């Protein structure tokens, strides 16, 4: 788990199976992990995960479930049956929802003869700043809310959270070093921010203790995605 390759999750934010497989093919084995989110999954369905697993990739199925506990539990069971190595729910769905999600995911994997999946919760989207929370009627800063929701995820028995790298230190000290923090909003020194508001470089995020870095557009939006991935990993190795 100490190699940059094992800590980099490249977000396959494309629209079709063909585009996704072409993007992965161009990587030539440079990646260990990819992320399939709502955009790709809603076009391809679960077969996308199967295809990526056949390529020897680990898959983070980022569907961010948020519904009543029974529905999320069933969805998690189905998500795990695709062979996904990591799945997630929204922490704002509440502690009961998260606890049922984790139990269903673990039992589902066991029944399907699969290894236990990593089950994590999204705290606060990295595209959200303080003014977005005010608009939603939520008091407190994104950092305070993320820390609170991470504690809830830990109490619900989840393996970790998705959070901004800015919150890693506080989340780790409140929940222990083993509580995973997966950080999107990562921008290598040479990349632009896009719509992400709370960004950090790979080296900064790793120094703060992030376990996995999610990088999307700086890699798959680059003219040479493989070179961008290798450059990102080179930057990570400077940690």
The catalytic residue positions are 64
* Residue 156: CB atoms within 10 Å: 22
Position of minimal CB gap to ligand C5P = 216
**CA count, 13 A, side-chain hemisphere, 36:** 31
Of residues 37 through 76, those in contact with ligand C5P by CB under 6 A are 37
- Determine if 13 is a binding residue for ligand C5P (CB under 6 A): yes
**DSSP helix/strand/coil, 16:** coil
Would you put residue 212 in left (φ > 0), alpha (ψ -120 to 50) or beta?
Answer: beta
Count residues near ligand C5P (CB under 6 A).
15
Site string for ligand C5P, 129-168 (x = CB under 6 A): ---------------------------------x------
Instruction: Tell me whether residue 10 or residue 115 sits nearer to ligand C5P (CB atom).
Output: 10
Q: Which stretch binds ligand C5P (CB under 6 A): 66-74, 96-104, 120-128, 150-158?
A: 120-128
Nearer to ligand C5P, 102 or 125 (CB): 125
E-only strand ranges, the chain: 8-11, 33-37, 58-65, 86-90, 118-122, 160-162, 180-183, 212-215
Among 94, 117, 184, 188, interactor with ligand C5P by CB under 6 A? 184
Whose CA is closest to 211, among 235, 236, 181, 234?
Answer: 181
- Where would I find the beta strands (DSSP E) of 93-225? 118-122, 160-162, 180-183, 212-215
Residue 100 lies near ligand C5P (rule: CB under 6 A):
no
Interaction with ligand C5P in 195-224: which residues (CB under 6 A)? 196, 214-217
For residues 229 and 191, give the distance between their C-alpha atoms in angstroms, rounded to a whole number: 12
Total residue count of the chain as it appears in this document: 239
Of 108 and 185, the one with the shorter C-beta distance to ligand C5P is 185
Contact footprint for ligand C5P (CB under 6 A): 11, 13, 37, 122, 125-126, 162, 184-185, 194, 196, 214-217
């Amino acid at each position: 788990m100490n190699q940059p390759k094992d800590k980099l999750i490249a977000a396959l934010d494309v629209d079709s199976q063909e585009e996704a497989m072409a993007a992965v093919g161009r990587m030539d084995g440079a990646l260990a992990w990819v992320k399939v989110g709502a955009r790709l999954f809603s076009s391809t369905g679960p077969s996308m995960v199967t295809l990526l697993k056949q390529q020897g990739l680990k898959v983070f199925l980022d569907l961010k479930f948020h519904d009543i506990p029974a529905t999320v539990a069933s969805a998690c069971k189905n998500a795990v049956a695709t062979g996904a190595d990591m799945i997630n729910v929204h922490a704002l769905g509440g502690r009961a929802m998260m606890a049922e999600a984790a139990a269903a995911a673990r039992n589902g994997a066991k029944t399907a003869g699969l290894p236990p999946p990593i089950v994590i919760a999204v705290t606060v989207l990295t595209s959200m700043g303080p003014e977005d929370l005010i608009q939603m009627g939520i008091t407190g800063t994104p950092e305070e809310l993320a820390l609170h929701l991470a504690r809830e995820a830990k109490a619900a028995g989840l393996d970790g959270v998705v959070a901004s790298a800015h919150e890693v230190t506080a989340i780790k000290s409140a929940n222990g070093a083993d509580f995973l923090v997966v950080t999107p909003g990562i921008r290598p020194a040479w990349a632009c921010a896009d719509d992400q508001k709370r960004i950090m470089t790979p080296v900064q995020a790793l120094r703060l203790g992030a376990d996995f870095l999610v990088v999307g557009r700086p890699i798959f939006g680059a003219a040479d995605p493989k070179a961008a991935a290798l450059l990102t990993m080179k930057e990570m190795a400077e940690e």
